[in-house]
Amino acid sequence: MSPSFAEKMARAEVEADFFGQQPPPDSLAEHETLVRNFIDYHRETSRRVALVTSGGTTVPIEAQTVRFLDNFSGGTRGARSAEYFLQRGYAVIFLHRQNSLLPYDRHYSNSKNCLLDLLDVVQGASGDSGSDGHRITVRREHEDQLCHVLQQYRSARENNLLLLLPFETVTDYLFHLRSVTILMWPLRATGLVYLAAAVSDFFIPHSEMAEHKIQSSVPSSHPRKDGVDLSCVKSENLSLDLKPVPKFLKSLVDDWAPVGSMIISFKLETDSNILLDKAHGSLQRYGQHLVIGNLLSTRQSEVVFVEPDQPRERWIRVPSDEDGLKMEIESLIVDEVAKMHSEMIGEER
């Protein structure tokens, strides 16, 4: 057997083992139907479709989950990017962590910019509906921005341009990622996969999880002392045996995603000395079209595009804030990605 064939067989074995032993999410079949209909709808007009993954993935430590490990991500990068893809004419499948930031909703879903702070209750005219004739209004200073965001959201939803698919655990995410990318096959070059989710590196296989809540105390061998009940006060250390999550990016690039589609992944590091090496290593190992490298401390102001072709490294930076306008770096990222995607589509034709 050639090495490439042997590698492909090994990947297939790992894939079959993982997806065969972990239970699929209850929502998977319903979500597959939604994705299939969404893709069929946009194929008729040859609209580009972007799969944007967003947010962190949890690692449950119990089957009936009370406790879990989590990844650092609120979904900011993904939610912003989805909006900019929509602005550039894409339809977007937004595969997101449940309760993470969503496109458009993100503008008013945190304590610094709470939606309720934008609203007032005023006395309505006689006969107005509402509680005791009162009605809700938007404070004048916020009207323009809220109107703009609401119009964009309504347009995306009413024109069937945004499909929201929630997940929670790392296994939920991987089941969805495999299914959605395979369902994107009819899109071919008009499909784009933008992997902005923060995926856990380790997990506990379902067969090794505790069924019920892991107790923090165990029965004591001396249940009473001086009339005090000590039957459940003895605590013990908790050790978790975490297994590495299989790396499925190569499977996505070679097997799952549509032929000719564009695939982008992110590489987040905290050490600037290793960022470029890690990004290049990912590109060589998995064969995606673009790795976007970023540092935890500067991820909102600069990223680096690492590509297989020259120039191999391109830094994208938010310009200085001279005019007082706050630019989101995702607008620059998506601009460049959309240009690259257009070039790929042109080459396919």
What residue spans of 23-169 are helical by DSSP H? 28-43, 76-87, 143-158
* Two tokens, residue 265: 């992944």
Specify if 198 maps to a domain: yes
41/156 Cα distance (integer angstroms)? 14
What's the CATH code of the domain at 64? Answer: 3.40.50.10300
**Three-class SS state of 31:** helix
- Sign of the dihedral through C-alpha 101, 106, 112, 118: negative
What pLDDT was estimated at residue 322?
56
Tell me the Ramachandran region of residue 209: left when phi exceeds 0, alpha when psi lies from -120 to 50, beta otherwise: beta
Helices and strands, number each (H, E), in the chain: 8, 16
What pLDDT was estimated at residue 62?
85
Which domain does 314 fall in, by range? Answer: 5-103+159-216+232-296+303-328
**Three-class SS state of 187:** helix
Specify if 252 maps to a domain: yes
What pLDDT was estimated at residue 323?
58
Specify if 145 maps to a domain: no
pTM across the whole model: 0.88
What is the rounded radius of gyration, in angstroms, for the C-alpha atoms of the chain?
24
**Three-class SS state of 320:** coil
What pLDDT was estimated at residue 69?
85
- CA-wise closest residue to 170 among 55, 26, 14: 55
* Residues of the chain scoring pLDDT < 50: 1-2
Specify if 273 maps to a domain: yes
End-to-end CA distance of the chain: 34
Specify if 133 maps to a domain: no
Specify if 53 maps to a domain: yes
Consecutive H or E run containing 208: none
Specify if 128 maps to a domain: no
State the total domains in the chain. 1
pLDDT digits (tens, 9 = 90+) for 276-326: 999 999 999 999 999 999 999 999 999 999 999 877 899 999 998 755 567
220/87 Cα distance (integer angstroms)? 63
174/299 Cα distance (integer angstroms)? 25
What pLDDT was estimated at residue 210?
78
165/100 Cα distance (integer angstroms)? 12
pLDDT digits (tens, 9 = 90+) for 113-152: 788 787 888 887 655 555 567 888 888 877 888 888 889 9
* Two tokens, residue 22: 């972990």
84/106 Cα distance (integer angstroms)? 13
Question: What are the backbone angles phi and psi of residue 246, rounded to the nearest 5°?
Answer: -55, 145
**Three-class SS state of 337:** helix
289/305 Cα distance (integer angstroms)? 10
**Is omega for the bond preceding 308 within 30 degrees of 0, making it cis?**
no
Specify if 292 maps to a domain: yes
What pLDDT was estimated at residue 1?
41
Residue type, 57: T
* Two tokens, residue 193: 């996969």
